[in-house]
Amino acid sequence: MKKLTDKELEIMNVLWENGALSMRDLVEKLPQPQPHFNTVSTFVRRLERSGMVIHKELGARFFLYEAAMTKEKYAEMLNRDSVSKLFAGSYMDFISCLVEQQEVSIDELKELIRMIEDK
C-alpha cells in the first residue's frame, strides 16, 4: 500500500472522523479553503482505486463514500513499512531512534512497558 498524499490524508481524516458521507457533505467538511467539488471527486476516485475508499449507491446518482480501512490499520501498515525500510524490521532500533531524538519521554516508555505487560 502506498503512502497517502497530504490531500488524500485530509479526505481520509474526514471520512474516519465522520463515517459515510455524500460527496457534497465530504467537501463541506474539508478545511478551508475548500477545494472544488470536482477536485475532491478526483481524489476520492483515486482513493477508491487504491482500496482506501468504498462507495454505496443509495439511488440514481447518489452515493455515500466511506473509508475501507480504519485509521489504526492504515497507521499500522505505514509504521510496519517504515520500520521495515528504515530500520531493517527492527522495532527496537526504531524506538531507540525515537528515544535518542527525545521524541519519547521516560513516562511514555513506562506506559509502553505497562501496556506490553498487560497484554
- pLDDT 10s digits, 34-63: 899 999 999 999 999 999 999 999 888 889
pLDDT at 2 over 90: no
pLDDT tens-digit profile of 24-37? Answer: 999 999 999 989 99
Overall pTM > 0.75: yes
Distance between CA 30 and CA 20 in Å, rounded?
14
Region 114-118: what's the mean pLDDT?
A: 92
> Does position 20 have pLDDT exceeding 90, yes or no?
yes
Cα distance between residue 104 and residue 68, in whole Å: 31
Rounded CA separation 55/93 (Å)? 40
User: What does the chain come to in residues?
Assistant: 119
